[in-house]
Amino acid sequence: MSSQPVKIEVKDLSIHYGNTPALEEVSLEVREHEIFGIIGPANAGKTSFLKAINRMDVFTTGMNVAGDIRFGDIDVHKADNIYALRKRIGVVFPLPVGLPMTIYDNVALAPRLSGITNKGDLDVIVERCLSRAALWDEVGDRLNSLGSLLSGGQQQRLTIARALSQNPEVLMLDEFSIAVDPVTTMRIEDVLKELKSEMTIILVTNLVQQARRLADRTAFFLEGRCVEIGDTEAMFNGEVQHQKTLDYIEGKFG
């Protein structure tokens, strides 16, 4: 994995909401075709980190970002077209938000906005994305039903399918398990393992064992700082640089 090219490079990233710091001088690299886990307690800055990469500061009142984020050869905070950038970096947040439209239209929206209008092409995209999100077998016969009527776990997978419909190079997930039952969580985890061959995945999770199951490398965030980054299995075997990391992994605080 260490031989993979760098996909996202972050240097001295700091984030404030008004005068309140959320993240201080975080520097790290995310590599192509890896699942990069981020763990840490509440208010560690994990979600703010994802928002900065996806340029959600533009839509978040009072969010101020300093430092450098490079996505390939693009300086994220100098990107000419934020919407084009966000198309390449998909994000799924903790609570699923189904758009007020059919299951089909939820997934077809982004392709339509990008200029795809042929129904046959859209049908292929919708089936592929729902299949990749482990949802096709459950909803393939009712695509014209409202997405908002699906169960919480199904809506979360619909949100993933919607993100995949943009063919992102990076998929970021922020504690996707919160509204999902354990069986569905494991199904989504299997999907993520398969998707790693096609894209880079950043996984923020409050379930440390989920990071152990999925992540190639893991970063531990605490009080707005990145305490350390390491090979996931090595970290969970006690090979850490800071006692706080081990204490968190062992559930001594959180």
Is the CB of residue 168 less than 8 Å from the CB of residue 8? no
pLDDT tens digits, residue range 91-129? 998 877 767 899 999 999 999 998 999 999 999 999 999
pLDDT at 83: 86
Residue type present at position 246: L
| Torsion angle of C-alpha atoms 127, 161, 211, 172, degrees rounded to 10 | 140
Sorted by sequence, the CB contacts under 8 Å of residue 160 that are 6+ apart come out as 92, 133, 173, 176, 188, 191
pLDDT at 1: 54
CA 98, chain centre distance (Å): 17
pLDDT of residue 98: 65
pLDDT at 172: 96
Which residues make beta-bridge pairs with 226?
221
Kindly report the pTM of this predicted structure. 0.92
Segments in the chain below pLDDT 50: none
Edge to edge, the sheet with strand 217-222 lists 89-92, 170-174, 200-204, 35-39, 217-222, 225-231
Residue 93: its pLDDT value, please? 84
Could you confirm whether domain 6-249 is CATH 3.40.50.300? yes
The percent helix, strand, coil of the chain (3-state, each to 5) is: 40, 25, 30
